[in-house]
Amino acid sequence: MVLFAHNSHRHKRAPVTLSSLFPAISQRRIATNGIELNIAEQGDTSAPLILLLHGFPESWYSWRHQFAPLANAGYHVVAPDMRGYGDSDKPDAIDGYNQVEVVNDIIGLIPALGYETAIVIGHDWGAPTAWSCALNHPDKVTAVGALSVPFSPRADVPPLDMLKVIFKDKFFYQLYFQEPGVGEAELEADVRVSLRKFYHMASGQMDVGLMPDKSADADLLSDLPDPNKMGPWLSDADLDFYVNEFTNSGFRGPLNYYRNHNLTWSLTEGAPTEIHQPALFVAGDRDGVIAMAALALENMPNHVKDLRTNALIPGAGHWTQQEAPEATNEFILDWLKAL
């Protein structure tokens, strides 16, 4: 069940989407880095701060199974809707979604919430953001965790240039997302079907043998299987929540993250290449990102110098903390206890 809470700002932005399934999670908007982010939070506001950063196409709600366990372990748990998502601000300019700006959003949340430091954990797009927070702000980030996307230092060549060489005449979703308006139109044509297909495609339930080889001019969704019913990790109520979020917010902001690969690369020349804070990495062994990033996963200990947890969860796909919440929580809680 999903509830809509309208407020005095309803004419300026979409309504906050609340889930009746998690009444202990509250939401508010916080100013940071020149915008406002909607945050979901649980736990003692004087306890140590953990920031949980979601990926594409998700929201704070992707961390729903982590709030209570982390709050009960003695943490103030905060998961923002990242810029462009949910009830957070959605800057118009495409270049406003480069990772330097996104990292500044998250680092700015720490003093805005009354803290000097935080532990930061990210999934999917939130993972490189979390890694970058630790890499570039070691005075603010005391420990860092990532799900699905391993750390790799800045590449020698612009990422989009590299992807165009690797995929040449083949379809690759990140290249497909580059033309403004194209991905938006396809994903927004039927938000429920789009999300259902995309979530299933990247989950542990997907039969990768059904994934077709596609030419560069193909679209994203038309030849993906529609599961009609998601796996047990995503209930009808969960899907309803996401459908309402993206029906309200659209996909322009989320897709703009992909359009800033090269700008982020140019803005981060001379960035450090080693992370020294205590670190955690967890992913599903059926995650397609892990298959693509096998070399980065292998090399990660060379760059993440205090990698205390480095684990793959059997049977889980890309949606790590949603598909395997118990295993994910166990890894995170054990890691936190040893800090």
Contact 54, 62 (CB under 8 A): yes
Q: Which pLDDT value is given to residue 15?
A: 42
> What are the backbone dihedrals phi and psi of residue 150, each rounded to the nearest 5 degrees, phi first?
-70, 160
Q: What is the pLDDT of residue 338?
A: 97
Where are any strands of DSSP class E within 138-295? 141-147, 279-284
Catalytic residues: 124, 318
Neighbours of 295 (CB within 10 A): 10
Residue numbers of the chain with a pLDDT score lower than 70: 1-19
- Cα angle 155, 328, 326; round to 5: 165
For 85-181, where are the alpha helices, taking DSSP H only? 99-112, 126-136, 159-167, 173-176
* Nearest of 215, 220, 213 to residue 183 by alpha carbon: 220
Q: How many CB atoms lie within 10 A of CB 1?
A: 10
Sign of torsion, CA 44 46 50 53?
positive
* 3-state percent helix, strand, coil for the chain, nearest multiple of 5: 40, 20, 40
User: Which of helix, strand or coil describes residue 308?
Assistant: strand
- At 124-139, the pLDDT tens digits run 999 999 999 999 999 9
**C-alpha distances in Å from residue 216, one per residue of 169, 213, 220:** 5, 10, 10
Q: Which residues contact 118 (CB under 8 A, 6 or more apart)?
A: 48, 49, 50, 51, 109, 110, 140, 141, 142
Q: What is the pLDDT of residue 82?
A: 98
pLDDT at 213: 84
- Tens-digit pLDDT profile for residues 48-72: 999 999 999 999 999 999 999 999 9
Q: Which residues contact 35 (CB under 8 A, 6 or more apart)?
A: 83, 88, 89, 91, 105
Residue 195 CB-half CA count within 13 A: 24
